[in-house]
Amino acid sequence: MAVPIPEPRISRFEKLGFGMFIHWGLYSQLGRGEWIMNLGKIPKQEYVKLKDTFTAKDFDARAITSLAKRAGMKYIALTTRHHDGFSLYDTCGLCDYDAPHSPAGRDLVREFVDACRQDGILPVFYHTTLDWYQESFQEDFEGYLEYLRRSVEVLCTQYGEIGGLWFDGNWSKPDADWKEDELYGMIRRLQPQAMIINNTGLDNLGRLGHPQLDSVTFEQHHPKKLDQEGFPKYIAAEMCQTINAHWGIGSRDFAYKSVGELIETLCIARSAGANYLLNVGPGPQGAIPALESAMLEKVGEWISLCGSSIYEGKPSNAVCDGADFVLDTPQNSYWYVHSLGIRGDANVTVDPKDSDAKRTIRGISRPISSICWEDSGEPLWFEQDQKTGEVRILPTGFPYGTNTVVRVARIAYQD
């Protein structure tokens, strides 16, 4: 059975490769994660007072999109409304529990969209389907779904063309009729090029859902390559992950991932053909913490040095040793090499060694003209058996003072 041809919006989405997730809202003022209203058992009448101190004085949408661009991120998914029910956009009379009716006095989503367009970033709107603020969520679910659809309609009609809608919360009522046909049908009518994604949560990684959905999700877990033979439509995949242990800022959370781990995870996601959506949690009034900004910029430096193929590259059928993998583009293939040693004097180098062990790639029969490191242009020794499709390569180790965690070699083919 054949693999379906991806629709243009899905093909575009897959080539974005790397995106920024932003969880920011009233909860950010407490610095205890985005679920604090629920987990902290804060009564609604107390929690809503956070609106009175929400100034968004540090929210600079252009600074955020510029950071995303330096990090090599091609799209941003912003929490336009999270589970606490507070909206960062003007709900146009549906509710006054939104940013324009707070001391911020601004439509923050409009600022976000405008900045995205200035920097060539695709704007995506996260929107909760679960709501702890609206009493109708528990008492009049039909009425609540109408409120939800009208809220999403505002997002689809007031901000021009958008990149997608990213929903989260259907897992809260697994047996309910969420009337997805009506919601997604409205989006298709108003935003035909928008991706529609509905997060399946931690317990249903990669699960297919409604036929209108365009991507499966892998929350906080490494994705698996989808076998799409016989699928009714081509589906993208996306892994979303926190940079520490919370989505919303945790002021006492010191468990940040390393830059090396972020690079490795980006590579793992792309090896499976999935996008990597990496979250940041802005501070109380909207500024991205300096540490998170610095980490993202370092990932961007790695992409500029040796990872540009993560965007156009598709998972190859070639089989590598260990964690190594290959991405294919129409012109070249790119070998992503893990666990390289460092070349250096034993007096200053930890575990010094040349990478004198040859590695093997199986499944490349196209005649190769050269293999060289992307970061330096250094050619690598190789031998190829076109009949068996086996390529043996000698990858040189990192020069002392250099370590890109994952090193990428470009495989060029004969004309």
Q: Would the CA dihedral through 343, 345, 350, 353 be positive or negative?
A: positive
Cα within 13 Å of Cα(65), Cβ side: 20
Neighbours of 29 (CB within 10 A): 18
C-alpha radius of gyration, the chain, whole number: 23
pLDDT attached to residue 356: 61
Rounded-to-integer distance, Cα 358 and Cα 324, Å: 13
pLDDT attached to residue 186: 98
47 touches 304 (CB < 8 A): no
Q: Using alpha carbons, select from 219, 327, 234 the residue that is nearest to residue 277.
A: 219
Q: With H, G, I as helix, E, B as strand and everything else as coil, classify residue 71.
A: coil
Q: Using alpha carbons, select from 66, 95, 105, 80 the residue that is nearest to residue 156.
A: 80
- Between strands 75-81 and 18-22, the pairing is parallel
Q: Using alpha carbons, select from 298, 292, 201 the residue that is nearest to residue 251.
A: 292
H/E/C letters for each residue in 28-70? Answer: HHCCECCCHHHHCCCCHHHHHHHHHHCCCCCCCHHHHHHHHHH
0.75 surpassed by pTM: yes
85 touches 130 (CB < 8 A): no
Non-local CB neighbours of 223 within 8 Å, separated by 6+ positions: 205, 206, 237, 238, 239, 268, 269, 272, 273, 274
- Between strands 398-399 and 275-280, the pairing is unpaired
Q: With H, G, I as helix, E, B as strand and everything else as coil, classify residue 177.
A: coil
Q: With H, G, I as helix, E, B as strand and everything else as coil, classify residue 373.
A: strand
Angle at 46 between CA 45 and CA 50, to 5 degrees: 110
Q: With H, G, I as helix, E, B as strand and everything else as coil, classify residue 290.
A: helix
Q: With H, G, I as helix, E, B as strand and everything else as coil, classify residue 225.
A: coil
In the chain, the domains with their CATH numbers are 8-310 (3.20.20.80), 316-413 (2.60.40.1180)
Per-residue pLDDT 10s for the chain (415 aa) are: 788 999 999 999 999 999 999 999 999 999 999 999 999 999 999 999 999 999 999 999 999 999 999 999 999 999 999 999 999 999 999 999 999 999 999 999 999 999 999 999 999 999 999 999 999 999 999 999 999 999 999 999 999 999 999 999 999 999 999 999 999 999 999 999 999 999 986 677 768 889 999 999 999 899 999 888 888 899 999 999 999 999 999 999 999 999 999 999 999 999 999 999 999 999 999 999 999 999 999 999 999 999 899 999 999 999 999 999 999 999 999 999 999 988 776 666 666 555 568 999 999 999 999 999 999 999 999 999 999 999 999 999 898 899 999 999 999 999 8
Q: Which long-range contacts (CB under 8 A, 24 or more apart) does 254-257 make?
A: 256/291, 256/295
